[in-house]
Chain A
Amino acid sequence: QKEVEQNSGPLSVPEGAIASLNCTYSDRVSQSFFWYRQYSGKSPELIMSIYSNGDKEDGRFTAQLNKASQYVSLLIRDSQPSDSATYLCAVGYSSASKIIFGSGTRLSIRP
């Protein structure tokens, strides 16, 4: 059973629209949640972290966490072609908070 699940995509969104990326996780005691962006051939880059239920906004990005339903999402407003990348959801598991990644969702912003 996968611990962090993401739809692999590709997700195609028109420029200027809202992109919505979703992630579910299996460990109820997880305390930390992260979204990373990874361009082809590059290493993952942290874009958001969230630790408590609700929404957290940073510029065009909003992370949403619902611990009861065990899901975390990322909204990207006013999508730009430069947002085209793979988005990785990561969860801090267990008492050691090892960070486990999902397989990523490929996002494509079409002009």
Chain B
Amino acid sequence: EAGVAQSPRYKIIEKRQSVAFWCNPISGHATLYWYQQILGQGPKLLIQFQNNGVVDDSQLPKDRFSAERLKGVDSTLKIQPAKLEDSAVYLCASSLRQGSEAFFGQGTRLTVV
């Protein structure tokens, strides 16, 4: 069974530029999560989807971050404009249903200079 796919693996951008990350969850997984992990910290939940609906986005900085999950499968996370403090690893995870085990993709390491 294929795991969670994410791209790109690495991205370097200048501050005030925009960037987008893509995630393809495990087939059949209804719940999709985007996390931000800053070096030395645990993953911080940015947004949670159940199929194509948003369940929780309370920690998403909505003035610059946006996310969508069209058709309840793939998802994209966008940052516009980026700030230096957005430098982090962005992790996508999926689970069969809410509350069940979540499996992570390899992540996208973003560096904002």
Contact = CB atoms under 8 A, between A and B. Distances in A.
A18 interface: no
B41 A103 contact: yes
A101 B101 contact: no
Interface stretch (B14-22, B42-50, B69-77, B78-86): B42-50
B55 A96 contact: yes
A61 to B, nearest CB: 14
A55 to B, nearest CB: 18
Interface stretch (A43-51, A66-74, A76-84): A43-51
Determine the main DSSP class of A at the interface with B. strand
Nearest to B103: A46
Interface residues of B, number: 25
Nearest to A95: B98
B102 A46 contact: yes
Contacts of B107: 43
Given A44-B91, A45-B104, A98-B56, A92 B42 contact: no
A97 interface: yes
A4 B42 CA distance: 10
Given A97-B99, A101-B45, A103-B41, 11 more contacts: A4-B42, A42-B106, A44-B104, A45-B104, A96-B48, A96-B50, A97-B98, A98-B56, A101-B35, A101-B44, A104-B41
